[in-house]
Amino acid sequence: MSEKIDVTGKPWEWSETTWRCLVDRARAGRSLKPANWPNGARCAVALSFDADHETIPLRDGDPSPMRISQGQYGSRQGVPRIRALLARHSVPASFFYPAVSALLHPEEVRDVAEDGHEIGIHSWIHEKNTDLTYQVERDLNLRAADVLTRLAGRRPVGMRTASWDFSVHTLQIIQEMGLLYDSSLMADDDPYELTAGGQPTGIIELPPEWIRDDAVYFNMNRFAGLRPYTPPSSVEEIFRAEFDGAWEESGVFLLTMHPHHIGHRSRIGLLDRLIQHMKSRGACWFATHAQVAEWCRDQAGLLPSSGKSESRSGPSTR
């Protein structure tokens, strides 16, 4: 269990030890941005889809058939469109499944895995980790890993916490599970090694960002005043600028999307045009998150974690 730090009292009255310990709990250590990408590629492109489907209303304890149907859309329309698009461009991606979503759509998980895409851990039912004790969070993630292993035919090597809600216990649980990487924390544009209490952990962080997340721009909640406020053309412009920056700096462009958001008729085209743009700039290494993490680990001479990762599909450079 993560070390207890006394955070009672006003933050401005905390001791230096307290605020240093809080900051050092899961902190960016050395950069794992490699000097080179496979086959002389200019940058790495890591596309991911968080296949939440019905689990967002379920997590909220919301029995609304309307909200649940919005999630089901992700499986019925979103994933088929995404799979077709990725196949057309011969681009691999990573799909992160809450276990309940995977159990509701077992054929989908099997088909996505058979396409050569990575299946990663994304909670049990999209629960918020910061609501949980260490024991409960650990148990749910272990059970989730077992479900995905059974459905996808191979053990997941990476985790993306639901809602990027990385708790004070998450890093320790990732280590205990022997995972290769996490993709929830945001201290850099490019991969880095996580440290705990100032000590290297061997766990690779593949940092996402809200800027590179379709949900931020497209989410909608009828009763909370949350409305999509950005047209797809503007989201495309933002994602393209993020990619161009990664290409210029020879870094990683990591994009998080959701089938029930990006999969709509008015939005899927932006992903198509984005991939076309990346290919037109050239020398992009399209890879799963696991492949990017493995490459960075090997280039840095980082010792493999105990959960040995296997790549399903070889790297493709375009």
Footprint on this chain of Zn ion (rule: CB under 5 A): 50, 52, 162
Could you tell me the smallest distance in angstroms from the CB atom of residue 260 to Zn ion?
10
Could you tell me the smallest distance in angstroms from the CB atom of residue 7 to Zn ion?
28
Nearer to Zn ion, 52 or 236 (CB): 52
Q: Are strands 43-50 and 27-31 parallel, antiparallel or unpaired?
A: unpaired
- 314 close to 185: Cβ distance less than 8 angstroms: no
CA 29 to chain centre: 20
State the helix-helix crossing angle for 268-281 and 79-89, rounded to 10 degrees.
20
Nearer to Zn ion, 147 or 284 (CB): 147
Could you tell me the smallest distance in angstroms from the CB atom of residue 126 to Zn ion?
6
Could you tell me the smallest distance in angstroms from the CB atom of residue 255 to Zn ion?
14
Residue facing Zn ion at closest CB distance: 50
The 8-class DSSP code of residue 235 comes to: H
Q: Which residues of 154-188 are buried (b: 16+ CB within 10 A; e: fewer)?
A: ebbbbbbbbbbbbbbbbbbbbbebbbbbbbbbeeb
Nearer to Zn ion, 159 or 162 (CB): 162
Q: Which residue has the tokens 């412009």?
A: 237
Could you tell me the smallest distance in angstroms from the CB atom of residue 218 to Zn ion?
14
- 28 close to 187: Cβ distance less than 8 angstroms: yes
- 49 close to 267: Cβ distance less than 8 angstroms: no
Nearer to Zn ion, 189 or 213 (CB): 213
Nearer to Zn ion, 50 or 193 (CB): 50
Could you tell me the smallest distance in angstroms from the CB atom of residue 124 to Zn ion?
12
Nearer to Zn ion, 59 or 297 (CB): 59
